[in-house]
A and B are shown apart, each in its own frame.
Chain A
Amino acid sequence: MANSEASDGGKKSDEGKSPTKRLVTGVPRLDFITKGGLIQGSSYAIIGPPGSGKTVLANQIAFQHVQNGGKALYVTLLSESHGRMLENLSQMTFYDASVIPDRLQYLSGYRDLERDGLKGLLELLRKNAQVHGTTLLIIDGMDAAKEFARSDLSFKRFLQDLQTFCSILGCTTLLLAPHHEGEIHPENTAVDGIFELSLWLHGPRAVRELIAIKFRGGPSLLGRHEVEISNQGILIHPRTEVQFAHPAAEGREDRIRMPFGIPRLDEALRGGVLSGSTTLLLGAPGTGKTLLGLNFLLQGAREGQPGVYFGFFETPPRLIEKAEGTGMGDLKKYVDEGLIEIQWQPPLEHNMDSLAERLLERIEERKVDRLRLFIDGVSGFRSAAVYPDRLGRFFSALTHQLRMMDVTTLYSDETPLFSPGVDMPQPEAASTVENVILVRYVELRSQLYRLLSIMKMRESAYDSGIREFSISEKGIQVAGTFESAESILTGHARLSGGEASRPGRVKAPLGASKKQGRKAPAKKKPAARKAPAGTSRRRRS
Chain B
Amino acid sequence: MKTVLVVDDEQDIAEAIQAILEEEQLRVVICGNGREALARLKDEKPDLAIIDVMMPVMNGYETIDAIRKDGTLHFPILVMSAIQPPKAKAEEQQWAGFLKKPFSLRDLVDTVERLTSS
Binding site for B on A (CB under 8 A): 76, 81-87, 97, 100-101, 105-112, 114, 124, 127-128
With A81-B102, A82-B101, A101-B83 as contacts: A111 and B57 at CB distance below 8 Å: no
Q: State in angstroms the CA–CA spacing of A128 and B102 once bound together.
A: 24
In the complex the two chains form, is B11's CB within 8 Å of A86's CB?
no
Report B92 CB to chain A, min CB distance, Å: 16
Q: State in angstroms the CA–CA spacing of A101 and B56 once bound together.
A: 11
Point out the residues of chain A lying under 8 angstroms from B59, CB to CB. Answer: 101, 105
Give the bracket for the number of chain B residues in contact with chain A.
10 to 19
Which residues of B (1-58) have their CB < 8 Å from a CB of A?
9-13, 32, 53-57
With A100-B54, A106-B82, A109-B56 as contacts: A81 and B32 at CB distance below 8 Å: no
Q: State in angstroms the CA–CA spacing of A85 and B10 once bound together.
A: 13
| Interface residues of B, dominant DSSP | loop
In the complex the two chains form, is A114's CB within 8 Å of B11's CB?
yes
Q: State in angstroms the CA–CA spacing of A76 and B10 once bound together.
A: 9
B55 closest partner in A (C-beta): A107
Interface residue? B117 (CB, 8 A) = no
In the complex the two chains form, is B56's CB within 8 Å of A124's CB?
yes
Q: State in angstroms the CA–CA spacing of A82 and B102 once bound together.
A: 8
Point out the residues of chain A lying under 8 angstroms from B102, CB to CB. Answer: 81, 83-84, 87
Point out the residues of chain A lying under 8 angstroms from B82, CB to CB. Answer: 81-83, 85-87, 100, 106
Q: State in angstroms the CA–CA spacing of A109 and B10 once bound together.
A: 8
With A87-B82, A110-B11, A111-B11 as contacts: A101 and B54 at CB distance below 8 Å: yes
Report B105 CB to chain A, min CB distance, Å: 14
Which interface residue of B9, B12, B100 has the most chain A CB atoms within 10 A? Answer: B9
- Extra A-B contacts (15), CB below 8 Å, given A108-B11, A124-B57, A128-B56: A81-B82, A81-B102, A82-B82, A83-B13, A97-B83, A97-B84, A100-B54, A100-B83, A101-B59, A107-B56, A108-B10, A109-B56, A110-B11, A112-B56, A124-B56
Report B91 CB to chain A, min CB distance, Å: 18
Q: State in angstroms the CA–CA spacing of A86 and B84 once bound together.
A: 11
Q: Top 6 nearest A-B pairs by Cβ distance?
A: A83-B101, A83-B102, A86-B82, A83-B82, A108-B10, A108-B9
Which interface residue of A101, A112, A127 has the most chain B CB atoms within 10 A? Answer: A101
A124 closest partner in B (C-beta): B56
Q: State in angstroms the CA–CA spacing of A124 and B58 once bound together.
A: 11
Report A125 CB to chain B, min CB distance, Å: 9
B58 closest partner in A (C-beta): A131
Report A126 CB to chain B, min CB distance, Å: 11
Report A165 CB to chain B, min CB distance, Å: 16
In the complex the two chains form, is A127's CB within 8 Å of B12's CB?
no
In the complex the two chains form, is A107's CB within 8 Å of B84's CB?
no
Point out the residues of chain A lying under 8 angstroms from B101, CB to CB. Answer: 81-84, 86-87
